[in-house]
C-alpha cells in the first residue's frame, strides 16, 4: 500500500473515514511496530503479517529499542551471549533458552532454532497489541509507543 511508509499512512488516513465504524477494520500485511501504531491511530482494529514468523525462520528475533526492530541471532556477537532474546520477556523461549544456545541451533541448521524464535516473536506481537489496547483504554498510547521504541 503505497511506495513508502509515508504514502501508506496517507492512503490509510484517506480511506479509513469512509469505512463503517460498526464493523472491525482490518489492515492486511502490516507488521512493523511503527506501522501498527500508525494504523491504530487511524482506527484500524486488526492486522496480520508474515513478518514476525518470516524473520524468525531466518534468525530474526523481535526486540524493543533496536534500530531494525530485531536482532539477527546468527551474528557471531551472540555466540556466547547468555541473555534471553529479550530481557523481561515472559515467553517460553526467553524463560528457558539463551541467545548463545539459539545461535548454536541456527549454526547447526537445527529447526528448533526457528521454532524458538517464532514462539518469541508471536509472544512479542501479542505483548505489543495488549499494551496498545491498554494504552487506548487509559489514553496513554503515546507513552506506550515510546516504551516500545526504547531499549531496556
Looking at 8, 62, 89, 132, which residue binds Zn ion (CB under 5 A)?
89
- Decide: is 125 part of the binding site for Zn ion (CB under 5 A): no
Q: Verify binding: residue 30, Zn ion, rule CB under 5 A.
A: no
Q: Which is nearer to Zn ion, 94 or 128 (CB)?
A: 94
144 interacts with Zn ion by CB under 5 A: no
Residue tagged 514476525 (cell numbers): 52
- In eight-state DSSP terms, residue 91 is S
Q: Does 102 bind Zn ion (CB under 5 A)?
A: no
- Per CB under 5 A, which region of 44-52, 64-72, 119-127, 132-140 contacts Zn ion? 119-127
Min separation Cβ 67 and Zn ion, Å: 19
Considering the complex, state which of residue 71 and residue 94 has its C-beta at the smaller distance from Zn ion.
94
**Would you count residue 44 as binding Zn ion (CB under 5 A)?**
no
The per-residue DSSP string of 65-93 comes to T-SSSEEETTSGGGTT--S-SSTT--SHH
Q: Please return the burial class of 19, using the count of CB atoms within 10 Å of its CB with bins 0-12, 13-18 and 19+.
A: middle
Binding to Zn ion by residue 120, rule CB under 5 A?
A: yes
In the block, cell 460498526 appears at: 22
As a whole number of angstroms, the distance between CA 62 and CA 55 comes to 9
User: Is residue 60 a contact partner of residue 32, using CB atoms and an 8 Å limit?
Assistant: no
Q: Which is nearer to Zn ion, 44 or 70 (CB)?
A: 70
Amino acid at each position: 500500500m503505497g511506495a513508502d511508509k509515508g504514502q501508506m499512512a496517507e492512503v490509510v488516513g484517506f480511506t479509513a473515514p469512509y469505512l463503517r465504524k460498526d464493523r472491525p477494520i482490518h489492515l492486511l500485511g502490516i507488521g512493523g511496530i511503527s506501522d501498527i501504531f500508525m494504523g491504530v491511530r487511524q482506527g484500524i482494529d486488526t492486522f496480520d503479517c508474515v513478518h514476525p514468523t518470516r524473520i524468525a525462520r531466518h534468525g530474526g528475533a523481535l526486540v524493543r529499542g533496536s534500530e531494525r526492530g530485531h536482532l539477527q541471532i546468527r551474528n557471531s556477537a551472540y555466540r556466547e551471549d547468555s541473555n534471553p532474546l529479550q530481557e523481561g520477556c515472559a515467553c517460553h523461549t526467553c524463560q528457558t533458552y539463551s541467545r548463545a544456545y539459539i545461535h548454536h541451533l541456527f549454526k547447526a541448521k537445527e529447526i528448533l532454532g526457528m521454532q524458538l524464535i517464532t514462539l518469541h516473536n508471536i509472544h512479542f506481537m501479542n505483548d505489543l497489541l495488549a499494551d496498545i489496547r491498554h494504552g487506548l483504554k487509559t489514553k496513554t498510547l503515546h507513552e506506550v509507543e515510546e516504551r516500545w521504541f526504547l531499549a531496556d
